[in-house]
């Protein structure tokens, strides 16, 4: 940036307008207070750049503009000497830039986007722009710089580019978070294994340590899956016994809410489904977690049932495994029931609202179906049906 600390120290008043950084309009504003070759070379470099570069003080008054800016927007010396930041934009764009873009630049140090600049004769020029805030001692903003280049993408292409950049940023952050989470699970597994070794094999805690070890390993598997999904890698499939999955989830539910009456019934293994083991476990876990949340902090009953049923499509010769999760909570009213599969919708203010959405997406990905029924105050039933693998 060309607002370095040394430059700022030479600013004596608004009328000087950072002449030492760039000869503003190169004419009527007098000689720079420091005519050293370094400043002249810096001014020549900035003046030679094809992008419009303009700097403003904290109140939005123009401090300097390079030759490309003057040639792009046009106007007399008088226009530039009185210009403020909002004057560069047509009314709707000026409001957005002042109310949204500038505060973001002050807060984050940087803003980028697209807006129209206004030429001296009133023509709008659509340009891709960046606002960069210059900070004093890393705390308060002293000035900001506008860098603008002609828009080369169509509005649709521009929006797609913004979304692509955001997705890449989210993906990079997600991988970092998942990697850190995976690293945290390693010591959990290690200490659980060590604890199992030092305890007597018949100690009551052995079964709890076994569940800790299993849950942590499943967490690592989920972490790896999230990384693969983020990177767009294909997912491995295998035969997953849904009866065993339900058994694992029931044990987790009982540890989480020992005060609840949790009952499981139905067909014993095997009930094999061909699919992603992590996804299928997450599906049942989400249904179980929803049942627990439906009971809130009060006692109640949760029933899980596993059985096999014919395909709902008469002409399809295959059988399905059906898993039903029933709770005797407060139920769901008709309006909420119609929206429960919407992402980020929840009847609880502290819930993310993704559990049932994710569960249904997993069911669909495995050629299955998820339904939820229930009315106030008679509880809720979630039922998922998945095609059995051949021979199941």
CB 21 within 8 A of CB 43: yes
Which residue, 25, 148, 149, is CA-closest to 85? 148
pLDDT of 232 above 70: no
CB 89 within 8 A of CB 118: yes
CB 109 within 8 A of CB 24: no
CATH architecture under which domain 236-387 falls: 2-Layer Sandwich (3.30)
Tell me the pLDDT tens digit for each residue of 59-98: 888 888 888 888 888 877 677 778 889 999 998 888 889 9
CATH domain 5-152 topology: Beta-Lactamase (3.30.450)
- Global pTM? 0.47
Q: Which residue has the higher pLDDT, 90 or 351?
A: 90
Q: What does the DSSP 8-state code read for residue 25?
A: G
Q: Looking at residue 16, what is its pLDDT?
A: 33
Tell me the pLDDT tens digit for each residue of 135-156: 655 555 568 889 998 876 565 5
Task: Specify the DSSP element, H or E, that contains 57.
Answer: strand 52-57
pLDDT of 35 above 80: no
User: One fold for both 5-152 and 236-387?
Assistant: no
pLDDT of 354 above 60: yes
What is the four-CA torsion angle of 223, 225, 229, 234, rounded to 10 degrees?
Answer: 160
Return the percentage of the chain with pLDDT > 70, whole number.
71
Domain boundaries, the chain: 5-152, 153-234, 236-387
Q: Looking at residue 85, what is its pLDDT?
A: 92
Give the DSSP per-residue string, 254-314.
Answer: HHH-TTSEEEEEEPPSP-EEEE-HHHHHHHHHHHHHHHHHHHTTS--EEEEEEEEEE-SST
Minimum mean pLDDT among 162-171, 193-202, 207-216, 247-256: which range?
162-171
- Residues in the chain, total: 392
């Amino acid at each position: 940036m060309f607002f370095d600390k040394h430059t700022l120290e030479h600013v004596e008043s608004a009328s000087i307008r950072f002449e030492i950084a760039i000869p503003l309009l190169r004419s009527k504003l007098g000689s720079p207070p420091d005519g050293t070759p370094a400043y002249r070379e810096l001014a020549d470099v900035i003046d030679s750049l094809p992008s419009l570069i303009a700097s403003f003080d904290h109140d939005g008054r123009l401090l300097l503009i390079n030759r490309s800016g003057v040639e792009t927007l046009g106007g007399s010396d008088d226009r530039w000497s009185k210009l403020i930041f909002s004057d560069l934009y047509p009314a709707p764009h000026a409001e957005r830039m002042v109310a949204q873009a500038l505060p973001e630049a002050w807060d984050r140090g940087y803003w980028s986007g697209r807006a129209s600049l206004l030429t001296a004769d009133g023509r709008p020029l659509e340009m891709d722009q960046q606002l960069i805030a210059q900070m004093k001692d890393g705390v308060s903003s002293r000035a900001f710089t506008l860098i603008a280049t002609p828009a080369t993408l169509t509005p649709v292409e521009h929006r797609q580019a913004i979304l692509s950049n955001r997705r890449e940023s989210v993906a990079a952050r997600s991988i970092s978070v998942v990697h850190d989470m995976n690293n945290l699970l390693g010591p959990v597994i290690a200490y659980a294994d060590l604890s199992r070794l030092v305890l007597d094999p018949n100690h009551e805690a052995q079964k709890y340590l076994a569940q800790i070890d299993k849950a942590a390993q499943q967490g690592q598997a989920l972490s790896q899956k999230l990384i693969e999904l983020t990177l767009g890698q294909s997912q491995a499939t295998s035969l997953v016994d849904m009866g065993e999955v339900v058994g694992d989830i029931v044990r987790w539910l009982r540890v989480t809410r020992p005060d609840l009456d949790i009952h499981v019934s139905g067909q014993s293994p095997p009930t094999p489904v061909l699919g992603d083991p992590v996804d299928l476990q997450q599906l049942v876990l989400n249904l179980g977690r929803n049942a627990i949340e439906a009971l809130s902090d009060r006692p109640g009953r949760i029933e899980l049932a596993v059985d096999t049923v014919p395909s709902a499509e008469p002409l399809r010769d295959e059988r399905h495994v059906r898993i039903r999760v029933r709770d005797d909570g407060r139920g769901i009213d008709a309006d909420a029931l119609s929206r429960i599969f919407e992402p980020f919708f929840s009847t609880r203010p502290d819930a993310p609202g993704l559990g049932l959405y994710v569960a249904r997406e997993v069911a669909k990905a495995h050629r299955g179906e998820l339904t939820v029924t229930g009315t106030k105050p008679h509880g809720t039933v979630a039922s998922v049906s998945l095609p059995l693998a051949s021979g199941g």
